Chains A and B, each alone.
Chain A
Amino acid sequence: MAEIRPDEISAILRKQLTGFESEVDIYDVGTVLQVGDGIARIYGLSKVMVSELVEFPNDVLGMVLNLDEDSVGCVLFGESSLVKEGDSVKRTKRVASIPVGEELLGRVVNPLGIPIDGKGAITTNKFLPIERKALGVIQRQPVKEPLQTGITAVDAMIPIGRGQRELIIGDRQTGKTAVAIDAIINQKYTHTEEAKKLGINPVYCVYVAIGQKSSTVAQVVAKLNEQGAMDYTTVVTASAWEPAPLQYIAPYSGATLGEYYRDNGKHSLVIYDDLSKQAAAYRELSLLLRRPPGREAYPGDVFYLHSRLLERASKLSDKMGGGSLTALPIIETQQGDVSAYIPTNVISITDGQIYLESNLFNAGVRPAINVGISVSRVGGNAQIKAMKKVAGTLKLDLAQYRELEAFAKFGSDLDQSTLKTLAKGARLVELLKQGQYNPVPIERQIISIYLGTKGYMESIPLIDIKRFEKEAIEYFEVKHNNIFESLKKEKQISDELEARIKKAAEEFINVFKRST
């Protein structure tokens, strides 16, 4: 058995003690006047800055939000029962900040960057403030690279570009988080050698969970681990049981983590799940700080709360390194009411929205995306040409289908062309259904949609569509893998390539018909 001699222990202790300076420590202090509900009013601290961290006894941290004439209003990031009236408060002279860097990949942290996954301390000395100013016009450029989510319906009709802000909105239980998680999982491809050869830059992900159940967050983390997605992902969490101030700053912490990659010429994807809970947390602490309430009792600056956060998403100019930060905020609506205060605000800030509906979800259309009212205002420029070509008519076909579907419900005499449109629409809807955690690579999406829009599925019964799609992709993979390769490389469908796809599709149709 190994032994440790006492003098070894004392040597280590001495080593730790050297460098400990016992000089006079100079710091600024104030006194707690009033404390309760996660808010403290402090007398003194006359030189304190807004959003500076202050230290209370018992290792409770706070952040200064109000600077009044004779007192300072401050929110607590810990138990308010540990702080008493008359306690002294210390300035830390640093604004609320979070450690950043690659060391945080694969970790679960709280909004102050303290790890909560039990994997030990985070060893980075790079700190960035949580609240940072968004970049100006000069430093930006239009969105031009695609960010593939791996969800066919999104990548085909609501394309997202790197640096875009795309809102995911819908009622509870409509699969909002699922869309976001799929988008994270699909970024795994961008970290492969193959993607590097094709000139696709890796995307680092940040998932910010605000006001969720800790068990839900644990599930998400477990799923990401299982899919190997934690290697390039950081999870920031402020669960429902944590104080409102932590929930309020969580998205800003996430944005800061993403900005680190953006500013170093890399690409990042940040998911805010969800901002309605953050707004509720901010309302709570605003009311406690006695700021006057406005519509739905939210404070007057609730628009600024979200606009300053989402403005930080950006595509940098080539001069600045060309990095990007894509934001996918999530908003939960009540009974599909998008005209409530927070949903309208965030819709107007973002560059489009993916609208999820519970009717569709219950009808088995999953992901339950209502393509009629979902839009992407800038992503179209970033979509690859091949996808643009095949998906061009998709949205229109589906819109026509939806319109006629309502009439068709009444049954009776429908002319031939109407029936044809209905049949095609139903097949397309079937085609766009997709399992959870099953992102599809872009080249496969293109082939599926090609088969759907060019009428190859007309003769296939509705129930066989999914099988048809699956077998078609398998057939292409085995017999015509070069088509996938060319699509990946060329990113567009030349006449020659189209002829090859056509030939392969016809071959497959014959094989499929024979098998059934």
Chain B
Amino acid sequence: MKINFKISHRYAVSLLESVIEKKKTEKVILDIQLIVNTLQSSNELQVALQSPVIKTEIKEKIIVELFKSKIDNDSLEFIKFVIEKRREDFLLSIALRFLELYDEHIGVANVEIKTAFEFTKDQKESLQKRIEQILKKKARLNYKLDTDLIGGFVAQVGDTRYDASLSHQLELLKKQFLKGNISLN
């Protein structure tokens, strides 16, 4: 996936503004999510979109064929517009940026949670509560399993990481020991 912050940000902002104006956000969000899922699941499609050999008209046809009956007309028009402007290789990054911007707009924080083992429903609920308390807004928790953590969990919001894992504690402990200051008397 090609990433260019400037380009994807610009397209995503304009899409968001227009859907808010048209009050069609719920519908478009689902469409964009579908696009992201489709693109992420099919490497072939991404390669095809990025290929300079395939003509723009053909790319457009492929996309229209794929999504025609499944997504809203506005969303389809947007994709066509992106392809027309020859930015089809940034489609995925535009879509992802759009989802980020939308979450910012409605005030939901995306929180990546890594746990050493599967959390129970109760644990998840209390974690959700606690995180929302800290962030002072709604949070969407995405769970991932990472056995390297040994125990505990790591939550990441944007660039900030809340580290309550056992492996990190051990790391800190090791550092403290290495620092020395051990006096025998």
Judge whether A20 and B180 touch: CB under 8 Å: no
Q: How far is the CA of A161 from the CA of B180 in the complex (A)?
A: 43
Which residues of A sit under 8 angstroms from B169, Cβ to Cβ? Answer: 22
Which residues of B sit under 8 angstroms from A12, Cβ to Cβ? Answer: 182, 184
Judge whether B182 and A30 touch: CB under 8 Å: no
Judge whether A30 and B159 touch: CB under 8 Å: yes
Judge whether A20 and B162 touch: CB under 8 Å: no
Which residues of A sit under 8 angstroms from B176, Cβ to Cβ? Answer: 16, 20
Which residues of A sit under 8 angstroms from B177, Cβ to Cβ? Answer: 16
Which residues of B sit under 8 angstroms from A17, Cβ to Cβ? Answer: 173
Judge whether B159 and A26 touch: CB under 8 Å: no
- Residues of A in contact (CB 8 Å), total 19
Q: How far is the CA of A47 from the CA of B158 in the complex (A)?
A: 11
Q: How far does the Cβ of B46 sit from chain A's closest Cβ, in whole Å?
A: 19
Q: How far is the CA of A28 from the CA of B168 in the complex (A)?
A: 14
A4: nearest chain-B partner, CB-CB: B184
A8: nearest chain-B partner, CB-CB: B184
Which residues of B sit under 8 angstroms from A70, Cβ to Cβ? Answer: 3, 5-6
Q: How far does the Cβ of B104 sit from chain A's closest Cβ, in whole Å?
A: 13
Q: Is B120 an interface position by the 8 A CB rule? A: no
Which of A29, A47, A69 has the most chain B CB within a 10 Å cutoff? Answer: A29
Which residues of A sit under 8 angstroms from B180, Cβ to Cβ? Answer: 121
Which residues of B sit under 8 angstroms from A28, Cβ to Cβ? Answer: 159-161
Q: How far is the CA of A168 from the CA of B115 in the complex (A)?
A: 61
Q: How far does the Cβ of B74 sit from chain A's closest Cβ, in whole Å?
A: 28
The contact string, 1 if C-beta is below 8 Å from chain A, for chain B 161-179, is 1111000110011001100
Given contacts A16-B176, A69-B6, A121-B180, contact A24 B159 (CB under 8 A): no
Which residues of B sit under 8 angstroms from A29, Cβ to Cβ? Answer: 156, 159-161
Which residues of A sit under 8 angstroms from B184, Cβ to Cβ? Answer: 12
| A residues whose Cβ falls under 8 Å from a Cβ of B | 12, 16-17, 20, 22, 24-30, 44-47, 69-70, 121
The 9 closest A-B pairs by CB, nearest first: A70-B5, A24-B164, A25-B163, A44-B159, A28-B159, A29-B161, A46-B159, A24-B162, A26-B162
Provide 8 A-B residue pairs closer than 8 Å at the C-beta atoms, listed in order of the A residue: A16-B176, A20-B176, A24-B163, A27-B163, A29-B160, A69-B6, A70-B3, A70-B6
